[in-house]
Amino acid sequence: VSNGYLFVQEQTLRFLPLFHILISGKGLIMTKSAQLAPTLLSQMDEEIDTRKINNSFLRDHNYATEADIISTVEFNPTGELLATGDKGGRVVVFQREQESKNQPHRRGEYNVYSTFQSHEPEFDYLKSLEIEEKINKIRWLPQQNAAYFLLSTNDKTVKLWKISERDKRPEGYNLKDEEGRIRDPATITALRVPVLQPMDLMVEATPRRVFSNAHTYHINSISVSNDYETYMSTDDLRINLWNLEITNQSFNIVDIKPANMEELTEVITAAEFHPNQCNTFIYSSSKGSIRLCDMRASALCDNHSKFFEEPEDPSNRSFFSEIISSISDVKFSHSGRYLMTRDYLTVKVWDLNMESKPLETYQVHDYLRSKLCSLYENDCIFDKFECVWNGSDSVIMTGSYNNFFRMFDRNTKRDVTLEASRENSKPRAILKPRKVCVGGKRRKDEISVDSLDFSKKILHTAWHPSENIIAVAATNNLYIFQDKVN
Amino acid sequence: MFPKGTKRKFSDSREEPVAGGEDVNQSSLAAVRMLSSYSLQRQSLLDMSLIKLQLCHMLVEPNLCRSVLIANTVRQIQEEMTQDGTWQIMTQALSAANAAAQCSADRLVATEVLCRQTEAAQGEQVPKPFPVVGSEGCPAEEVLEEEEAAAAEVGMTMSTVSPQAPTSYLPGTFGMDPCWEEEETGEDDDDDEEEDSEECGSGSEGEERERDSLVEDTRTAEQVFGTFEIKNPAPSPDPALEELFSDVDASYYDLDTVLTGMQSVPKMGPYDLLESLSSHGPSPLSSSTSCRSDLNELDHIMEIIVGS
């Protein structure tokens, strides 16, 4: 797959009043990060509904810990920024350290750039149900000016955030003094022109758009179109198309809700726009199928242009067949020629031109096939793992249990299992490949299936768009690894 | 006789329990294997699925994808059981038992439950998941007594018999309900939905009783997915419903009204089951319906009111 992966840094997010960064053995970086400290607090526009209720007691005492669980990870298109969203509705953006000649080994390290509360918990009074503030997805917009834009969404509402730097401020106002207090006009004897003076770098995040009230069901995906003007948001039964500028209307382009909810047997699990063709998108279902739709064909894309589904293997049939075939994530390759799907036990690569079966199938953790009943019992079988491509579409990566994640090289057909854990990660240490022992004698470094920790699951990973740098979210810890450079 | 404090864990016939190490009651497992392994596994899977569907009524809206997948699994099992005739036996026994025990509607599960299971000639035990209106107080002792009596009869089989008046339990929304307490003394209350369903799900294996339910497919699916829709409160001229609500604590209504601003009687979500009740004939809400989760909900709602 590569020469081997280095542990670069680990960032632990803690729910403390002061944002706290833990980086193993990198005291120097901690100091530097403190200077760059995310001072931002988001300035809410008036249009944002600030109705709040005190939600802290709606959760149990584990609130503080649970809020830190990372729920999404995403690099921006250049790889300079890395955004994470967590269960507490916060977004933390990391920025890559600039390369400097003095410290070439520091390349690839990410420091906190901005932190903001993207979503707040809400209460749906009509249904008497809570709306979680957990960030389900973050998608970056391509950069068009000095500011960065990202879309973040919880179950019901998508928000467009602008992250910008401010390193100058105007000084020398006539009507107010340096602290902002209004000056007594009688004391003003001369006029001056305010000048911009340098100030400490401040990174601000402001919500620019709020796209709400368009989804009855829980949003699971957002995807920005290649035209950079529109994006789509997907819930369990519908897909809506938005214009980034317009928040009070959206177009419904897919609706699979049956007239009679009793007949509901299939839901949408993920959707994505084609990277190069703004009229094409795909969506996956809980029955293991993928539909490709062309928006030019009709306004409502209930009829697909292509339908990808692999016929079921009768020898593997069980009561859990449908559940494990449910697709948890779907991603186009960067080239747009392939698409990748993740179901419970496998990752599959499909050629857009072949609908009958996948091009390649990779077993992520087939040793769990005999444990499906237990995994159904403890609900692990419903875990939604994501999958990612590397920049060149030659390697794919996905997570597993016990903080393991897997990489598959499509060309060499080699695969590797790595672990994201503090014990095994010392700075600059090379990750050791792990192996799960299925039966029989367990070798020294292997771990047996029964010893796997199913509470430690890696659902979210991200790959730098052009380099071999990966971000792996393990519960409330973010690990960043990079390819060893000789 | 089941020793207290241990859970009988459902395990695949050829595998070890997954990390977590629950105790397995060896003698019952051996007995279980004596019977038709496949149909029992299927039955257990059905039980588990039904429990999972019932535990949907949390404070946060349940995951639709998960509910759909579980419902499909239940449907699949049901189809298979229909094909090999077991389904007929069950439904017949069900109606027989119901006629005898005179407690049809009380045994209604939150109607997400498709069916109840029974073995051959055995009757039904009761606990029905019934997230409900009414805070009459939980006659936990009464429930426990019946559970114990039932447990005593259990022996080696999966289902238990009790021709007695219905007992009931609530899925532990915010903690284990009284029925489970006897068996799982060490469980923590936890608001986490996942853990709840996990606990109750695994608890159900520990319990030898079967869930009771009496609904057709269509209504089930509707109830499962009903929480995702805002329904117009159904006008209820049905005297049965009046009787139902005669037990309801008026103060609870006030909270409900304050909270939702809705004057209608049924609170959506956990109370969708009332719609099914009306179609299944009148029957007074048993005062023995557990309301533990109700009280917990009440507490939470009170905190909201007070907190704001």
CB contacts of B19 in chain A (<8 Å) are: 450-454
pLDDT tens profile A395-428: 999 999 999 999 999 999 999 999 998 776 676 7
Enumerate the β-bridge partners of residue A53. none
The mean pLDDT value for B205-216 works out to 39
pLDDT at A105: 60
Task: Give the alpha-carbon dihedral of B157, B163, B165, B167, to 10 degrees.
Answer: 10
Cβ atoms of residues B112 and B56 within 8 Å: yes
pLDDT tens profile A260-280: 998 999 999 999 999 999 999
- Other CB atoms within a 10 A radius of the CB of residue B165 amount to 14
pLDDT at B127: 37
Task: Determine if the pTM surpasses 0.80.
Answer: no
Of the listed ranges A416-420, A447-451, B169-173, the one predicted with least confidence: B169-173
Cβ distance B191 to A59 less than 8 Å, yes or no, reads yes
Cβ distance A58 to B45 less than 8 Å, yes or no, reads no
Cβ atoms of residues A476 and A16 within 8 Å: no
pLDDT at B26 over 70: no
Could you tell me whether strands A447-448 and A436-437 are parallel, antiparallel, or unpaired per DSSP bridges?
parallel
Name the amino acid, one letter, at B298. L
pLDDT tens profile B107-117: 333 333 443 33
Tell me how far apart the alpha carbons of residues B244 and B267 are, in angstroms, rounded to a whole number: 14
pLDDT at A5: 64
pLDDT at A339: 97
Cβ distance A130 to B259 less than 8 Å, yes or no, reads no
Cβ distance A127 to B269 less than 8 Å, yes or no, reads yes
**Per-chain mean pLDDT for chain B:** 52
pLDDT at A303: 87
Burial of B84 (0-12, 13-18, 19+ CB in 10 A): exposed
Terminal CA-CA length for chain A: 15
pLDDT at A307 over 50: yes
Give the 3-state secondary structure of residue B302: helix
Structure tokens at A282: 């795909």
The mean pLDDT value for A107-131 works out to 88
Closest CB to B19: pick one of A263, A265, A450: A450
pLDDT at A31 over 90: no
| Top mean-pLDDT range of A43-47, A57-61, A195-199, B218-222 | A195-199
Q: In three state form, how does the secondary structure of A236-278 look?
A: CCEEEEEECCCCCCCEEEEECCCCCHHHCCCCEEEEEECCCCC
Enumerate the β-bridge partners of residue A311. none
Q: State which residue of chain B sits closest to A375, comparing Cα positions.
A: B18
Q: State which residue of chain B sits closest to A133, comparing Cα positions.
A: B60
The answer to whether A54 faces chain B, any CB pair under 8 Å, is yes
What proportion of chain B, given as a percentage, has pLDDT over 90?
Answer: 6
Burial of A476 (0-12, 13-18, 19+ CB in 10 A): buried
Q: State which residue of chain B sits closest to A134, comparing Cα positions.
A: B60
Cβ atoms of residues B25 and A91 within 8 Å: no
Cβ distance A374 to B202 less than 8 Å, yes or no, reads no
Tell me how far apart the alpha carbons of residues A249 and B293 are, in angstroms, rounded to a whole number: 40
Cβ distance A261 to B190 less than 8 Å, yes or no, reads no
